[in-house]
Amino acid sequence: MEITGGCLCKAVRFRITAPPIAMRLCWCRVCQYFASGNATVNVVFPSDSITIEGEPRDYRSVAESGNIMHRRFCPECGTHLFSAAESRPHLIIVRNGALDDTALVQPSGTIWTRQAPEWAWIDETLPRHEGQPPPIA
């Protein structure tokens, strides 16, 4: 299996050779900055299954949980591509909008709903977590 994707300007491209583990929508406040005020849409893959071409820039920050987070984006066009926690190096989170096929995966849940604005549309048929859910793998 091969899943492909990249940024808007194509300076960064990637290939993934494993099936997705999950797709989650995240309403945390940080994600709202990246997703123009909405939730980010995040597909989780094993980190050893991805090959990246190009040089995404890495923005490092410390999450409320104390986790050190790395969020990578294209320095040319600004497309958000990846997120990863230092505490979970075996997982990489790919922004769904960066996949060539954005309909590849169905969402499996919504997280950080307590930070969502009042107007947010949150799918009631999916599992919801008010904050950070327990680890998936």
Question: Quick one: how far is CA 104 from the chain centroid?
Answer: 14
The span from the CA of 33 to the CA of 9, in Å, is 21
Encoded one letter per residue, x for contact with Zn ion by CB under 5 A and - for no contact, window 68-107 reads ------x-xx------------------------------
Map the footprint of Zn ion across residues 24-53, applying CB under 5 A: 26, 28, 31
The pattern of x and - marking residues 55 through 74 that bind Zn ion according to CB under 5 A reads -------------------x
Which region holds residue 55: left if phi is over 0, alpha if psi is between -120 and 50, else beta?
beta
CB closer to Zn ion out of 62 and 77: 77
**What's the start-to-end Cα distance of the chain, in Å?**
20
Q: Where do contacts with Zn ion occur on this chain (CB under 5 A)?
A: 7, 9, 11, 26, 28, 31, 74, 76-77
